[in-house]
Structure 1
Amino acid sequence: MFDPKKIPVKGKIIDVTVPISSFTPIFPGDPEPSIEKFLTLEQDGCAVSRLSFGSHTGTHVDAPSHILKDGLSVDKLDLGSLMGKAVVLDFTRINGALTGNILEKVYNDQKNNDRKITESVSILLLKTKASFRKEKNPDIPDFQAGGLDKKREFEDPAYLDATAAAWIVRKGFKTVGIDGFSVDSLSSKSLPAHHTLLSNNVNIVECLDLKSVEAGTYFFLCLPLKVENCDGAPARALLISDS
């Protein structure tokens, strides 16, 4: 269960949430985000907006029901597993599949350089080339607002293969986050990483903004919208440093 006493508030707060706007990149085929004025101060005395976007828009949490029959919906997730000690690993020099061996090596290298990585670290965050974005015209590799740019040569950013997902489960992580659109290959139809992680109660957070975050340990806090019986939901995600 959620215990407010476990949240350290003395360190620097880093917002790692991708904002939702008409500029927000989306996965091809997902609903395009729209924010419209519904009521205005001038005419109605108050401002109210009409929001329209997919459940996997911007920084979001995938619920097990996203790909698993009878899987939990996002409102049923244990919030305690979406907050806690986290380690950020840097994979910005790697394209394509991240294997279990690659994760093991980078994790051990980071652990040797950071004594704060202990068994209490329950969240794994993957910083990839997708972290490098422009604020008002996002430039996540090969994507644009509205979906895939067919004119550009496709190159799969870093993603988890089946061995990497299995490694995460074996290590006992409760949540894995990535700054790309998917923990799986963007061309994958079977989604092996999603299946392995979600079927083993490992939360998935996608589309984090880690461009200004250095590898190391933090406290991670991620709260998805409580949308009943939904397959996922946008979330506000924060990192809190130790200093």
Structure 2
Amino acid sequence: MFRDCTHPLTPATTVYPGDPTFERTPHATHDEDGYCVTRLELGTHSGTHVDAPSHTEPDGRTLDSFPVETFAFDALRIDVRDKAPREPIERADLPDPTDDELLVFHTGWDDHWGTDAYFDHPYLTADAAAWCADRDYHVAIDALNVDPTPTENARDDEPDGVPAHHELLGADHLIVENLTNLDGLPRRFRLSAFPLAVEDADGAPIRAVAEFWGEENVARRTDEPTD
């Protein structure tokens, strides 16, 4: 079974404050040119996307330096839907180590997509991110950012900057952000997150697709129930 976990790119797509918005304009039309071409303008971190280490690390690798098979992950979904706005995801929220490749933090924040509330998402502490990196996990989340996003609701005890990004990207791991449609997925699944083939990219939009084997087969494959 396959499930699309991608937010469509539209003019209303939520972006990190200050990032380029997504725009599409006609370049050629059937009426005037006999064919249709659309001009797209967007940032490398628009919509559902993957961050390369070069996003925050001056000497970090770009996406095109990773083998294409890197972007097909054995994923483990971590249910943190009980987290409140701007509440940290801490080391204590993480599972015992497994042989999976990607930890997918399921916050449920995709329900707020397109609203101001989307910016006040839960986030990973630097300690939690370092634990993931030390155990060779890439990280994904169904929210705008693995670090807190600046808003007027920021708390005094929140970290400055992007420490979770530094812990993960600085250790040559990838970050997938703005996933959606995680409800009902089994705890373990495959996630394909292939980026656009942009030269020297610090990040790129992806088509994120979860593959799983049906509720009747998941328990046999993973010995764990769905929720």
Pairwise TM-score range, normalised by the shorter structure: 0.7 to 0.9
Question: 1:50/1:198 Cα in 2 relative to 1: closer, same or farther (>3 Å)?
Answer: same
Counterpart mapping for 1:84-163 below 5 A: 84-95=73-84, 96-103=87-94, 107-108=95-96, 119-133=98-112, 138-139=114-115, 141-143=117-119, 156-163=120-127
Q: 1:119 Cα shift? A: 3.8
The question of whether the paired residues in 2 share the 8 Å contact of 1:131 and 1:140 is answered with no
Q: 1:215 Cα shift? A: 5.0
Letter in 2 for 1:48: V
Match of 1:76 among 49, 65, 72: 65
| Identity within the alignment, % | 33
Residue 185 in 1 paired to residue 148 in 2? yes
Q: In 2, Cα distance between the equivalents of 1:189 and 1:83?
A: 32
Q: 1:157 Cα shift? A: 1.6
Q: String of CA shifts for 1:112-157, please: whole Å, max 9, x gaps.
A: xxxxxx84311110111312146xxx336245xxxxxxxxxxxx32
In angstroms, what is the RMSD of aligned CA positions? 1.9
Q: In 2, Cα distance between the equivalents of 1:17 and 1:196?
A: 25
The question of whether the paired residues in 1 share the 8 Å contact of 2:118 and 2:143 is answered with no
Q: Which moved more, 1:203-212 or 1:74-83?
A: 74-83
The question of whether the paired residues in 2 share the 8 Å contact of 1:88 and 1:215 is answered with yes
Q: In 2, Cα distance between the equivalents of 1:88 and 1:219?
A: 10
Q: In 1, Cα distance between the equivalents of 2:35 and 2:83?
A: 49
Letter in 2 for 1:218: F
Q: In 1, Cα distance between the equivalents of 2:116 and 2:103?
A: 21
Letter in 2 for 1:220: L
TM-score by length of 2: 0.83
How many residues are matched?
Answer: 204
Greater RCO between the two (CA within 8 Å, min separation 6)? 1
The question of whether the paired residues in 2 share the 8 Å contact of 1:129 and 1:157 is answered with no
SS, match of residue 167 in structure 2? helix
Q: Which moved more, 1:48-57 or 1:65-74?
A: 65-74
SS, match of residue 141 in structure 1? helix
SS, match of residue 163 in structure 1? helix
SS, match of residue 167 in structure 1? helix
SS, match of residue 93 in structure 1? coil
Q: In 2, Cα distance between the equivalents of 1:26 and 1:234?
A: 12
Q: In 2, Cα distance between the equivalents of 1:80 and 1:119?
A: 20
Q: In 1, Cα distance between the equivalents of 2:110 and 2:165?
A: 21
